[in-house]
Amino acid sequence: MDYLEIEGGSPLCGEVRIQGSKNAVLPILSAALQCPGTTVIDNCPDISDVASMLEILKGYGCRICREGTRLIIDAETLHSGRAPEDYAGVMRSSIMLLGSLLARMGEAFLPYPGGCVIGKRPIDLHLEALRRMGAELWEEPEGLRAVCRCPKGAHIRLPFPSVGATENVVLLAARAEGVTVLENAAREPEILELCRFLACMGADIEGAGTDTVRIRGVKELHGTEYRIMPDRIVAGTYMLLAAAAGGKVLLREVPFHQLGAVRQVLRQMGARQESSGDSLLLWCPGRSRGGFRTDTAPYPGFPTDLQSPLMAALCVADGTSVIQEHIFEARFKIAEELGRMGADIRIRDDRACITGVKRLTGAQVEAKELRGGAALCIAAAAAEGKSRICQYHYIARGYENIIRDLKDLGVVVH
Ligand code: EPZ
């Protein structure tokens, strides 16, 4: 069934372990292509974006064995620089294979990564940066052809701290001749995680997680074993769920140090937070508070991926709140679906004004992309009555098993 049904209105009570990070494991799977041997990845989330990426890696000749959340990837012999059409074209993240394929094979052919409802998702920053390192790229009708027989280190400054462009530069620079200095690099924790993984494979990288990264290319990368960090966006989703639906939740394996901006917003909403070790106890005594403005920003600012979940939580918070989206040009689509549940949201350009209502009402709604789908789950858990959230497959792209997690947190899910 491509939907889930939630009976809202009951306060939460339960606990859940936060899964491994989607946006960390995807570039790491690309990096694994550069090892002429075996890499082992632990705590890999069982999500459809990972499944698609693994199919693409198999299309290049990787042998993959999966034991629960443990992946064993043998990339000893790769045979083609052409991604299987039916996967790479539908998944935006396939673009981050480019750097690794050029580093390992010297050539690549990738169908254009799909845009999606949150924005056009251009790749101009990727292409410009890789050209600076000696890549020749042709935008052909059915995809992107790239050749780079001898990648060279370069001094590159990104006009915007693009996460994907930063990852592609790091992936190619790891084995380029000489030193690459990347300025205005993205500082997201997923970049630091990728650099740590590459360093375990023998790469020479300094400044990872800062806005200037220096990579000295090495001749070869070797196998390693690595445990993926928890997913800060999944953790933030469930924290906002608790603020919206009320009750008390215990989240385990929470990456606290990556959630500063999110925890600050939750404090503004009146949520109480008690941490011990890597667990977080979170509850909202009474109705949560709105009446403030939140701007999305590159890390360490408030993450754009939690903008829709925050919008859903603010729909039932006291007061009128404002969300200003600075990263993607069309990330408010979910407001229309929240409106079907009685939400009071006014959108103007990249600004949303949300006035909290007494109660949302259950309705049939449709997920249109990953984080918007998660936002609908939050709204449905807070609403009075039953909701049906259609197009569940969007949510499964990034949440390992949101039905299991919601039930474990005390949400009534059918
Ligand atoms: C990554 O996407 C994440 N995806 C996104 O998470 C996340 O929202 C985004 O970073 C921002 O944090 C993965 O890591 C797989 P960007 P990415 O390049 O790399 C523009 C989720 O829900 N841009 O930092 O595509 C772009 O249009 C997903 O898990 C260009 O103009 O993000 C956007 O407006 C959604 N030209 C902005 O930069 C380019 O060449 C940020 O994009 C590249 C990007």
DSSP-derived secondary structure for 292-322? -EEEB-STTSB-GGGHHHHHHHHTTSBSEEE
Residue nearest to atom 22 of ligand 1 (CA): 305
Q: What is the mean pLDDT of residues 274-298?
A: 95
Best substitution site from 121, 156, 232, 402 to test ligand 1's pocket, by max atoms within 8 Å of Cβ? 121
Choose one of 165, 198, 227: the last residue of a domain. Answer: 227
Bridge partners (DSSP) listed for residue 181: 155, 214
As a whole number of angstroms, the distance between CA 134 and CA 45 comes to 35
Write out the H or E segment, with its range, that includes residue 327.
Answer: none
Looking at per-residue pLDDT, the higher value among 109 and 296 belongs to: 296
User: In this model, does residue 233 exceed pLDDT 90?
Assistant: yes
126 Cβ below 6 A of ligand 1: yes
- What pLDDT is recorded for position 188? 98
Ramachandran angles phi, psi of 242, nearest 5°: -65, -40
Please say if 377 is a catalytic residue: no
Residue type, 208: A
Give distance in angstroms: CA of 118 to centre of ligand 1: 10
Give distance in angstroms: CA of 178 to centre of ligand 1: 28
Contact assessment for residue 205 and residue 215, using Cβ atoms and an 8 Å cutoff: yes
Contact assessment for residue 244 and residue 313, using Cβ atoms and an 8 Å cutoff: yes
133 in the same domain as 219: yes
Bridge partners (DSSP) listed for residue 42: 227
Looking at per-residue pLDDT, the higher value among 175 and 92 belongs to: 175
Residue nearest to atom 17 of ligand 1 (CA): 164
322 in the same domain as 269: yes
380 in the same domain as 343: yes
- What pLDDT is recorded for position 89? 61
- What pLDDT is recorded for position 93? 78
29 in the same domain as 174: yes
237 in the same domain as 95: no
Number of domains in the chain: 2
At a CB cut-off of 8 Å and minimum separation 6, what does 211 contact?
161, 183, 184, 185, 187
Ramachandran angles phi, psi of 247, nearest 5°: 90, -165
297 in the same domain as 260: yes
138 in the same domain as 89: yes
At a CB cut-off of 8 Å and minimum separation 6, what does 218 contact?
174, 175, 202, 203, 204
Give distance in angstroms: CA of 190 to centre of ligand 1: 12
Closest to 321 (Cα-Cα) out of 341, 301, 343, 297? 343
- What pLDDT is recorded for position 322? 98
Closest to 119 (Cα-Cα) out of 74, 186, 54, 164? 164
Length of the chain: 414
Residue nearest to atom 35 of ligand 1 (CA): 305
What is the span of the domain harbouring residue 356? 3-19+230-413
Choose one of 163, 198, 227: the last residue of a domain. Answer: 227
397 Cβ below 6 A of ligand 1: no
162 Cβ below 6 A of ligand 1: yes
Average pLDDT in the chain: 94
236 in the same domain as 105: no
73 in the same domain as 179: yes
User: In this model, does residue 245 exceed pLDDT 80?
Assistant: yes
Q: HSE (CB half, 13 Å, CA atoms) of 202?
A: 14
372 in the same domain as 276: yes
241 in the same domain as 144: no
371 Cβ below 6 A of ligand 1: yes
Structure confidence by residue, pLDDT tens digits, 319-344: 999 999 999 988 999 999 999 999 99
As a whole number of angstroms, the distance between CA 232 and CA 244 comes to 18
Which residue in the list 13, 44, 65, 116 is annotated as catalytic? 116
Find the CATH number of the domain harbouring 71.
3.65.10.10
Structure confidence by residue, pLDDT tens digits, 177-202: 999 999 999 999 999 999 999 999 99
As a whole number of angstroms, the distance between CA 354 and CA 21 comes to 29
Of all residues in the chain, the percent with pLDDT exceeding 70 is 96
Choose one of 183, 198, 227: the last residue of a domain. Answer: 227
Ramachandran angles phi, psi of 145, nearest 5°: -105, 135
280 in the same domain as 409: yes
- What pLDDT is recorded for position 88? 61
- What pLDDT is recorded for position 159? 97
**Whole-structure pTM over 0.95, yes or no?**
yes
